[in-house]
Amino acid sequence: MIYSAVRKKDENNQDIDVEIKFNVGDLRKVLELGDSDNDPIIIPERLCKGLWCRMGFTRHLNGKYLKTMFSPPYKFLINCVVHALSHRKGAYDETSDYIMNIITCLVLNMPYNVS
């Protein structure tokens, strides 16, 4: 169960904390992600690195994953996924491991547990 607090004003203009309860199932229903608990959340590293080489990755595979190191069509895909699903406020050039897992699943048309 996930809890979230929302601030609300009462009739005296005082702040009131209102607790909202929701779970992963509610999140899946509202966002219509199409994933399930049975879908993988971690993709084998060998599969990911092999795909990145086919995507035109030009640097050492154990370093930072910068989208500028990929071929142009994949740069755009990575950019879209990073902006849509990343929790960053900046530094959109560098991608994290979980984003690369999502991109691997998108390119290979594999299921992935985004929730």
pLDDT in tens, 53-108: 888 877 766 666 777 788 888 888 888 888 887 776 666 677 777 888 888 888 88
Mean residue pLDDT of the chain comes to: 76
User: Where is pLDDT greater, at 113 or 3?
Assistant: 113
Cβ atoms within 10 Å of 74's Cβ, excluding its own: 19
Q: Where would I find the H helices in the chain?
A: 24-31, 45-54, 72-85, 97-108
Are the CB atoms for 78 and 48 separated by under 8 Å?
A: no
In order of 21, 48, 53, 109, the CA distances from 93 in angstroms are 35, 18, 18, 24
Q: How confident is the model at residue 6 (pLDDT cuts 50, 70, 90)?
A: low
The reply to whether the predicted model has a pTM over 0.95 is no
